Amino acid sequence: MNEMFEFRLHGRGGQGIVVAASIFAEAVFLEGFYARAFSLFGAERRGAPVTAFIRVSKDRLMPRSRIYQPDYVVVFDSTITGSTLIAGLKDEGTLLVNGGESWDDNLTGILGPDNRYQIKTVDATQIAWKHKLAIGSFPMVNTVMLGAMGRISGLTSLENLISSIKKRVSASIDANISAVTEGYERVKEVERLVT
């Protein structure tokens, strides 16, 4: 069996995490992987917590279950907190958070002393505002987060992310390309807050 890479994405309805998952799946497919992007939701509505998953493998055959032990947990909305966020995250895994300085404090709340995964942040909200990516007062952070996901996982190049965005996003293409690029470049590692 080939190695699998599993992502769990947490966000809110309207943030485009389901679309982000399918863009990422398409980009890694262009890299020569098989990928599946899927989501779990109740009755969809703006603002409600949404979970999406991505599974990546060189092998077409993959399980069709949910992801319980992800290699990557990606948090699109820093107002979603709590221990369920990091449930099952592998020791050697990575937590990627949309966060500026204030989120670094919130991290303490969900980190136990035994957690060994890496923590990366990207200030996706600020970058989204900068490129005027918003629906009303709701910043659209998904393409920024995609850039960061591509960078930290190494599973797709920025070029393939851009190709996939061009194919699957219909509005504000230039702003989204700038956003994915900035997400790719500006994701940073957070020093461990607990040892």
Partner 1 sequence: MAFELMSGSQAAAVAVQRVGIDLVAAYPITPQTAIVETLANFEAKGELGGEFVSVESEYAALACCYGAAATGARAFTATSSHGLAYMHEIIHWCSGARVPIVMVNVNRTIGAPWSLDPDQGDSLSQRDTGWMQIYCANAQEVFDTVLQAYALAEELLLPCMVVFDGFYISHTYEAIDVAEKEEVRRFIGPPGFEAQVKPGSPGNTHALTTGENQLLLVRNRHETMLRAPAVFEEINKRFSDIMGRSYKIIDYVIPPGAKTVFLAAGSTSETVRWALPKLNNTGLIQLRMFRPFPAGQLRSVLAAHDVEKVIVVDRNCSTGMGGIFAQELRSALYEMENPPQVQDMILAGGVDLTFEMLEKILIPGPDESRTEDKWGVDLK
Residues of this chain that interact with partner 1 (CB under 8 A) are 1, 21-22, 25-26, 29, 34-43, 61-66, 68
In angstroms, what is the minimal distance from the CB of 174 to partner 1? 23
Smallest distance, partner 1 to C-beta of residue 26, A = 5
* Structure tokens that stand for 34 in this block: 């098989």
**Ordered alpha helix ranges (H), the chain:** 17-30, 101-110, 124-130, 142-153, 158-168, 173-186
| Contact predicate 20/142, CB 8 Å | yes
Residue 65 or 195 having the CB closest to partner 1: 65
163 and 27 in contact (C-beta within 8 Å)? yes
| The pairing of beta strand 138-139 with beta strand 118-122 | unpaired
**H-run or E-run covering 81:** none
Determine the residue type at 166.
Answer: K
Residue 131 CB, nearest distance to partner 1 (Å)? 25
* Least Å from the CB of residue 119 to partner 1: 27
Closest to partner 1 by CB, 43 or 171? 43
Residue 68 CB, nearest distance to partner 1 (Å)?
7
The SS3 assignment for 28 reads helix
Closer of 45 and 132 to partner 1 (Cβ): 45
Minimum CB distance to partner 1 smaller for 29 or for 129: 29
**Cβ distance to partner 1 smaller for residue 169 or 187:** 169
What values do phi and psi take at 103, rounded to 5? Answer: -70, -30
